[in-house]
Structure 1
Amino acid sequence: MKLPVIRHLQKNNDQVKLEHTLEVLESFCDHRSVSDEEMDVVGELISNICGALEVQKMIDKGMAERDAANTFMQKVMGSIDR
């Protein structure tokens, strides 16, 4: 996950567009001819899109944009430490 990418996605796309993109990427991954390398790239894309959606949800609940991004990354880092 890359916070600058997450912020860019969150600022420049609406929720519906991001959700549709997720559906397409997940469908792509279901095909049997997708290589491990392609799966890694798509996984990174999916995680960034999910991060953008999560940050947007926090902003929609009233959290400042910067605080939402920092809170999200703290959650990610906390889950990695476990």
Structure 2
Amino acid sequence: MKLPVIRHLQKNHDQQTLESTLEVLESFCDHRSVTDEEMDVVGELISNICGAIEVQKMIDEGMSEKDAANNFMQKVLGSIDR
């Protein structure tokens, strides 16, 4: 996950667009001809899009943009440490 990418996606696309993109990427991954390398790339894209959606939800709930991004990354880092 890359916070600058997450911020860019969150600022430049609405939630519906991001969710539609997720559906397409997930469908792509379901096809049997997708290689492991392609899966890695798509997995990175999916994680960044999910991050953008999560950050936007926190902002919509009243959190500042900076705090939402920092809170999200703390959650990510906390889950990695486990």
What TM-score bracket applies, with the shorter chain setting the length? over 0.9
Tell me, yes or no, if structure 1 residue 16 matches structure 2 residue 22. Answer: no
Match of 1:25 in 2: 25
Q: Is 1:64 equivalent to 2:64 in the alignment?
A: yes
| Match of residue 75 from structure 1 | 75
Deviating beyond 6 angstroms after TM superposition, the runs of 4 or more aligned structure 1 residues are none
Uncovered stretches (5+) of structure 2, i.e. residues with no partner = none
Alignment length (residue pairs): 82
Secondary structure at the aligned position of 2:63 is classed as coil
1:72 match: secondary structure? helix
